[in-house]
Structure 1
């Protein structure tokens, strides 16, 4: 399992567009992708689960990858967060 902590900088937070783009990136990896906010976990491959976290500017989230290709997944998805949120 790999983890990446990130504080959201985008003033709109993780609204529909970036959430959809994140999920599109996440589904290509066979392992488990999880986003955690304040102890609540969401499946990073399901847009409604990601949006239910209600991630806002200033929130700290944890990205977790587990299983096959977890190293590549954490690299690609953490870069996505840094570049888009």
Structure 2
């Protein structure tokens, strides 16, 4: 299992549009991927789970993956969050 932390820097956090991009990207990997914030964890491949975590600007999240492509999955999703989903 691989886990990495990142701070959400989008002005509006991870709302519907970036969440859809995040979920679509996560779904392209075979590994089980989760996102955690403040002790709550959601499936990274579920739009409802991601939105229900309330990922706002400045919050710290942990992206974890376990499976055959876990390292690539976490690195790709971290880069996606770092890119602010192309919004800024």
1:13 alignment counterpart: 13
The DSSP-based 3-state class of the residue aligned with 2:33 is strand
When normalised by structure 1's length, the TM-score is 0.95
Post-superposition CA distance 1:26-51 (Å, at most 9, x none)? 00111111000001000000001100
CA RMSD of aligned residues (A): 0.9
Q: CA deviation at 1:21?
A: 0.2
Gaps of 5+ in 2: none
Gaps of 5+ in 1: none
2:2 alignment counterpart: 2
Deviation above 2 Å: which 4+ runs of structure 1? none
